[in-house]
A and B are shown apart, each in its own frame.
Chain A
Amino acid sequence: MGQNKEQYFKQVYKDSKDQIYRLCLGFMGNKPDADDLFQEVLMKVWNNLEGFRKESNIKTWIYRITTNTALLTLNRKTKLQQRETNHPQHLPHYEKDSDNSHNNQLEISKLYKAIATLKEIDRIIIGLLLEDCSYEEIATITGLTASNVGVRINRIKKSLNKKLK
């Protein structure tokens, strides 16, 4: 079982690492905290992998674990607020290749930063939407109704537009 679990975990990691990381970064708004959360999610995935029923959707299962772990990171949230007070600039850092890519990177960081200022549950919802989850899937993961998800997405869109202007 141990060897199988390791193989399965490696596969899950390979398939989902970027999605999980993006959700973590969108939730935390900065790379050091996102890295911490990312590792915590991986630990939970590992701990619960044996209990996962293969007939269920692994993507939904992992997103749910990510969501629950992110929502429980109160301590990190406090850490984030402290950092914000001490260093207002906590944008993810990007290497400067050219003007174009630099602009693109600025846009990416602006988007992630704007998402991180939304309400906790809204950060999760928009993150899942940007990861191609349907309203139904988002509803399953967050425990909200699909119609509520729709209403919230409209509100998030307006709010993000305002923040990104």
Chain B
Amino acid sequence: MDPEILNWKNLWKEEKSGPLDITKLIADLNKIEKRGRTERIALLIALPMTLILLLFLLPVLSNTYYLTAVSLIGLGMIMILIQIYKSRFGAIKNEAELSNQKYIVKLIDKLKKQMLITSRYMWFYTLLLILGINIGYVAILEHSGLSLFSRIMIHSVLSAAMFAFMYFSILKRKKKNNQRILPLIAFLDNLKRS
């Protein structure tokens, strides 16, 4: 072997890891694992529960307006939940078989999906939410005795307020994504090419 490499190898191997409380580490890892499992189960329960709840509400909500409102908001929620589930980082199961390039490509894809939730799906959700709430308010305001103009004003203010709230929330989230995800994608792209 190259004497230079051999010399570096000897120096390199002099370095040892410091003491670590492995029992405590395992206990902490168990806690994290349990929390992750609970979150996954909660997500798996939340989806069918939303659907079942909507089905149960069908006969209860005889009013078409309420029913449409709840359905639209529920649809928006399901859409976001599906996207979150699709973009989560799964466990690296066959790490030894998976090539680094494939791993990086997969990771970039997941990160892009995460960005898409904010840039596309959150806007769909906003639209469905505003539509749903407004349809619900049609029923509420129908028997209020208010003039048509007042009702239109309430709908407009409500829509504008909701839009503003969602607009700033999405903007904030986009900014966060740009700081966190974009450099990571650029870095991974660079690695993919190297």
Contact = CB atoms under 8 A, between A and B. Distances in A.
B45 interface: no
Nearest to B26: A6
A51 B184 contact: no
Interface of A: 2, 6, 9-10, 13, 17-18, 20-22, 25-26, 35, 38-39, 42-44, 46-48, 51-53, 56-57, 60-61, 64-65, 67-68, 71-72, 74, 92, 104, 107-108, 111-112, 119-121, 127, 129-132, 141-144, 157, 160-161
Nearest to B12: A130
**Interface residues on chain B, size class:** 35 or more
Interface stretch (B3-11, B57-65, B72-80): B3-11
Given A22-B15, A26-B12, A60 B96 contact: yes
Contacts of B183: 74
Contacts of B103: 68, 143
Contacts of B184: 72, 74
B97 A56 contact: yes
Chain A at the B interface: mostly helix, strand, loop or mixed? helix
A48 B4 contact: no
B185 to A, nearest CB: 10
A61 B96 contact: yes
Contact of A64 (B11, B91, B100): B100
A4 to B, nearest CB: 13
B194 interface: yes
Contacts of B33: 46-47
Given A51-B91, A108-B14, A111-B11, A142 B100 contact: yes
A21 B17 CA distance: 5
Nearest to B20: A17
A112 B95 contact: no
B95 A21 contact: no
* B contact patch SS: helix
B96 A21 contact: no
B13 interface: yes
A143 B16 contact: no
A107 B187 CA distance: 32
5 pairs of A and B residues whose beta carbons are closest in the complex: A143-B100, A21-B17, A51-B93, A56-B96, A130-B12
Contacts of B97: 56
A91 B4 CA distance: 22
Nearest to A48: B92
Contact of B9 (A64, A130, A160): A130
Nearest to B101: A143
Contact of B191 (A42, A121, A157): A121
A127 B22 CA distance: 24
Nearest to B15: A22
Given A6-B26, A108-B11, A160-B8, A17 B17 contact: yes
B8 A43 contact: no
